[in-house]
Amino acid sequence: MMTEKPTMLDDAALRLRLKRLIVESLHLEGLAPEDIADDAPLFGEGLGLDSVDALELVVALEKEYGMPIQSHEVDKAVFASVANLADFVARMHAKDNRGALVDGQ
């Protein structure tokens, strides 16, 4: 049971870090990372992101996590929400066995 709590905390920290990355890399002025719901749509009626934002977000993710992202590894579902994006980053991290996903972790 002790292994579940760090996973939940890691997941929450990763989601917050991704929200900050979205706000900062896409220059979403007037929007706080905490205002983005984990399951809120990032495109369309959600945050209103578009295909250019998706490309910028891929570049930001590659820089932030030091992992190349190939076009065949992502689809619309990955960018549907912060929760989906966090799952994708965690899978890529596990696959590549890279360093910490969140600061101090």
Q: Are 36 and 19 in contact (CB under 8 A)?
A: yes
Superfamily of domain 4-96: ACP-like (1.10.1200.10)
Domain ranges of the chain: 4-96
Q: What is the pLDDT along the chain (105 residues), one digit of tens a residue?
A: 443 434 555 889 999 999 999 999 999 999 999 999 999 999 988 899 999 999 999 999 999 988 888 888 888 899 999 999 999 999 888 877 655 555 544
| Cα–Cα distance measured from residue 66 to residue 68, given in angstroms and rounded to the nearest whole number | 7
The residue written with tokens 């959600």 in the block is 46
